[in-house]
Amino acid sequence: MEEKAPINASIGNHFATLEDPRIDRRKLHNLIDILTIGICAVICGADDYPSIYAFGKAKESWLGTFLELPNGIPSSDTFWRVFGAIDSEQFQSCFLSWMTEISQVTTGEIIALDGKQLRRSHDKSAGKSAIHMVSAWATSNRMVLGQVKVNEKSNEITAIPELLSRLDLSGCLVTLDAMGCQVKIAQQIVDQGGDYLISLKGNQSNLHEDVELLFNDLEESNYKAYTYDYCKKANKGHGRIEIRKCWTISDPELIQHLRGANRFAKLHTVVKVRAERRIEGKKPSLEDRYFIGSATSQATDALNATRTHWQIENSLHWVLDIAFREDESRIRKNNGAQNFAVLRHIALNALKRDTSSKVGIKNRRLKAGWDEQYLRSVLALI
């Protein structure tokens, strides 16, 4: 049999260790063919198993130029069974090793961690609640680095350490919301060679209160009581003005007296960010937020990191909902929801890396479905 030239050897290389969940006598289709068709289909707009099958049938001749397809295109039920049966931990590990190889995370990279619920992945008849995933987003590379499912009877606090353990944090800054403001999580980040900047709220009530009082004292003294750094940035557009001010204090003599500060590994800096929004005809809104960090940060760097953290909401979660309709997905049986989420992340990473097209992700998916040459170029990026 003539050997097919792979359109992207990375798919075969990085999923080579993935165990096939099927018994031998039921293997009518190669596992790598099923995976590759799934990845291509999701890039091109498929959001469920019937649409993956429809894509495969429409592109069977093209797919046959680089896949073996010994029994043609697998049925919709085959895609459903296989992606539901694949071990989600193995699938995620293969994805992570693949993204680690191509992402080229460098010193100074900001890695944002945040959770998202797959809203329609619940199954009331089976007593199964909606799946919650924690993802890691490399802000400079603009790529998903990995994700972990939150156990049904737990929360993000248990999933974050597992996800962190799979990442290379050397020289990186990890940003987390208040859920991740935990002593053990901060220690793990430092132990893995990274730094952290974590939102501080009521779950660390004593530390939060003392940090707030520290910055209040600074303000009441007309900014003469302590040594600090400061920056201010303003943005105008869409009928509104947003002004952000940031203060950082890195004096170890002050920080060591904050209740609970000594429990956090390498805590060097406390941060206050004041966000003011002005919209014509409305009362201005004002919000103060506080953070702790292990790096001795200047205010400009701290403000940039706090703003950059929200890329994971705007560039990942929002895009998954709008361009991939993730919240509308009813895939829920077995491991299907977790594994299909990985397919979306692979597709998103590929489309994000494309710089030839200036349209949004939704239209890039459409273009990939229409233009086989463009799809080839996108696949070559992952």
β-pair partners for 115? 134
Length of the chain: 382
Query: In the prediction, which pLDDT does 197 show?
Result: 96
Query: In the prediction, which pLDDT does 154 show?
Result: 62
Query: In the prediction, which pLDDT does 53 show?
Result: 97
Tens-place pLDDT, residues 90-130: 998 888 888 877 766 566 789 999 988 765 555 555 555 66
Q: How many CB atoms lie within 10 A of CB 66?
A: 16
Query: In the prediction, which pLDDT does 1 show?
Result: 44
Query: In the prediction, which pLDDT does 145 show?
Result: 87
Query: In the prediction, which pLDDT does 80 show?
Result: 95
Strand order in the sheet with 285-293: 143-149, 131-138, 110-118, 173-176, 195-200, 285-293, 269-279, 240-249, 229-237
Query: In the prediction, which pLDDT does 153 show?
Result: 57
Query: In the prediction, which pLDDT does 199 show?
Result: 95
Radius of gyration of the chain, Cα coordinates, nearest whole angstrom = 23
User: How far is the C-alpha of 167 from the C-alpha of 365, rounded, in Å?
Assistant: 28
Domain ranges (residues) in the chain: 9-97+329-379, 204-300
Spatial contact of 169 and 192, defined as CB atoms under 8 Å apart: yes
Of 61, 142, 135, give the one whose Cα is nearest residue 104: 142
> Tokens for 247?
């203060």
β-pair partners for 346? none
Query: In the prediction, which pLDDT does 333 show?
Result: 77
Low-confidence ranges of the chain (pLDDT < 50): 1-2
User: How far is the C-alpha of 50 from the C-alpha of 135, rounded, in Å?
Assistant: 27
State the pTM of this model: 0.84
Query: In the prediction, which pLDDT does 301 show?
Result: 94
> Tokens for 190?
């430092």
The single-letter DSSP state of residue 14 is: H
Give backbone dihedrals phi and psi of 23, rounded to 5 degrees, phi first.
-80, 150
Query: In the prediction, which pLDDT does 36 show?
Result: 94
Query: In the prediction, which pLDDT does 196 show?
Result: 96
CA angle, 40 then 10 then 107, to 5° = 110
Query: In the prediction, which pLDDT does 9 show?
Result: 62
